[in-house]
């Protein structure tokens, strides 16, 4: 209900952030006497937030450029060849980039090369 209050106020960013834990089950919509589909409100706010409000970190543009230039072709080939255990290991090593990426750099920039000891 908190994110719906923000939706009524037109605060898309707060709707997106407050609705983050909504799993879109629809239970609230099924019981809503006003026949409002709360999860659809949350979904719309998240999409609007991601497309028009959220500032894309510079590192995302760098990563896109790297992909276009073929930097990860070998990495992807290696990932495809890994078994489940190896993939799980690499997945657990991954780092999540903070929204404010100023000064941030990954500790393992070239996973899986670095994690496998090959290259």
Largest CA distance in the chain: 61
Nearest approach, Cβ of residue 44 and ligand SF4 (Å): 13
Nearest approach, Cβ of residue 22 and ligand SF4 (Å): 3
Q: Given CA atoms 55, 52, 15, 47 in this order, what sign does their dihedral have? A: negative
CB nearer ligand SF4, residue 7 or residue 111: 7
CB nearer ligand SF4, residue 23 or residue 55: 23
CB nearer ligand SF4, residue 46 or residue 78: 46
- The upper half-sphere exposure of residue 89, i.e. CA atoms within 13 Å in the direction of its Cβ, equals 13
Nearest approach, Cβ of residue 31 and ligand SF4 (Å): 9
Nearest approach, Cβ of residue 24 and ligand SF4 (Å): 5
Token pair 């991601």: residue: 50
Binding site for ligand SF4 (CB under 6 A): 22-28, 38-39
CB nearer ligand SF4, residue 3 or residue 78: 3
C-beta separation of 14 from 3 below 8 A: yes
| Cα gap 44→7, rounded to integer Å | 10
């Amino acid at each position: 209900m908190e994110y719906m209050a923000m939706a009524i106020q037109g605060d898309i960013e707060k709707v997106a952030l407050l609705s983050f834990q909504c799993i879109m089950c629809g239970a609230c919509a099924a019981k809503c006497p006003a026949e409002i589909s709360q999860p659809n409100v949350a979904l719309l706010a998240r999409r609007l937030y991601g497309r028009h409000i959220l500032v894309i970190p510079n590192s995302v543009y760098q990563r896109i450029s790297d992909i276009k230039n073929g930097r990860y072709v070998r990495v992807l080939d290696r990932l495809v060849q890994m078994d489940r255990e190896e993939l799980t290991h690499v997945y657990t090593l991954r780092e999540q980039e903070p929204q404010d990426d100023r000064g941030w750099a990954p500790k393992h920039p070239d996973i899986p090369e670095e994690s496998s000891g090959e290259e």
